[in-house]
Amino acid sequence: MDITIFPGKSRGAVTVPPSKSMAHRAIICAALAQEGISRIENINYSQDILATIQCLKQLGAEITCEENSLIVKGGISYHGLNEAVHCNESGSTLRFLIPLFALKEEKTVFTGEGRLLQRPQTIYQDIFRKQGLLYAQNPENITIQGRLKPGVFEVPGNISSQFISGLLFALPLLEGDSLISILPPFESQSYLKLTLDLLKQYGIEIQQKDKFTLLVPGNQSYCSHDYRIEGDYSQGAFWSVLSAINSPISCMDLPEDSAQGDKAILTILQQCGAKISAAEKGKGLTVIGGQLIGREIDLADCPDLGPILMVLALFCQGKSRIYHAKRLRYKESDRIAAMEAELRKLGADITSTEDEIFITPKISYQAKELIETHGDHRIAMAMAIAATKCQNSVTISHGEVVEKSYPNFWEHLENLEIQVEKHD
């Protein structure tokens, strides 16, 4: 499905979808509770969340999907493992669940779509090898076999905190205590904090000895717990930038006290000269752009903001430098290369190194050819926001990729009075 976006002023309000990061974690914790029933409110059934739900059902959880909430009866039984555990294209699902399926002796085969099985998994490979367990990966699947044992786990902190979170879900269920030693530099610390906060709410004790050391007592049990998922700052970033570079809109359900790392979008916008105020009604905010100035932006703790920050830089006076960006190259696409290619189609002045992006703004932008999404939801959404400020209409291919994380994105863009046309 191709999407054509016409330039125009944004108006109105948008309710930001619930946090995908928090939803993954809450559903996993609820699924591991051996007794009781958990109700998880404010669910957005993106492809990634549906992948986690299906995999947890194979783990043994009973999950009932209502319109925007889940009823979860937990418990590990590993039924349904005669079939592969299919993670679709969700890196969170795969990395969070590998250690949980390694709590049993039998073989488990994980499959996926897109670039999922090309994304780095060497941390688990090294852990399994050191414990004498099977870990085999090829372009079609990952196969594991053998029961994870308690012990000391050394994990690099500069690849993805998802590996640490995956271990934290599983290690409390082992018979003995474990220690996770995080090797500096430690990036994406905010995502680890989300995991620790959710674990505590579901009855799991983790002792953080210092920034790099986590003691995980064994023989613990998850407790059932009702939970509401708050709005997602990584998705709200698209609307916050739209509000800054176009015309002000209200972004609802973005709590001020959120622990999400992608809340950094607000600080970055303020550093660029934008003003942020509370929305007129309800819990939310409005970003007012004005004269924006290019800055140096550190992506170490908020890599998912990369694509939309490149769009923001197009409309900031002076050169912008985005650094600690290397992990963008290992997402659903190489997000640096993809954004570089597509923004140049608009006439952007953008260059990059392995770890940095440099953008110098131009007076105006005009689409010269079809914009490709590279199979990546964040590329599609970022380019859509840029399109609203181009001199002509912009057509984006394969607009359906947004279903991975934000199925209602195009409808929400239309609701903000931006003209959108869909072509099958």
**CB burial of residue 418 (10 Å; 0-12, 13-18, 19+):** buried
What is the C-alpha to C-alpha distance for residues 154 and 133, in angstroms, rounded to an integer? 16
Q: Which of 392, 401, 324, 313 is nearest to 360 (CA)?
A: 313
What is the C-alpha to C-alpha distance for residues 60 and 187, in angstroms, rounded to an integer? 33
Question: Is residue 25 within 8 Å of residue 198, measured between CB atoms?
Answer: yes
Question: Is residue 15 within 8 Å of residue 252, measured between CB atoms?
Answer: yes
Spatial CB neighbours of 210, under 8 Å, sequence gap ≥ 6: none
- Catalytic residue, chosen from 48, 253, 262, 304, is 304
**CB burial of residue 140 (10 Å; 0-12, 13-18, 19+):** exposed
304 counts as catalytic? yes
Q: Which of 409, 408, 380, 377 is nearest to 394 (CA)?
A: 380
Question: Is residue 206 within 8 Å of residue 214, measured between CB atoms?
Answer: yes
The amino acid present at 96, given as its one-letter code, is: F
Cis ω for the linkage preceding 156 (within 30 of 0): no
Question: Would you call 260 helix, strand, or coil by DSSP?
Answer: coil
What is the C-alpha to C-alpha distance for residues 14 and 237, in angstroms, rounded to an integer? 12
What is the C-alpha to C-alpha distance for residues 222 and 204, in angstroms, rounded to an integer? 6
* DSSP character string of 18-74: BPHHHHHHHHHHHHHBSSSEEEEES----HHHHHHHHHHHHHT-EEEE-SSEEEEE-
**CB burial of residue 304 (10 Å; 0-12, 13-18, 19+):** buried
| Token code pair at residue 173 | 């269920």
Catalytic residues: 304
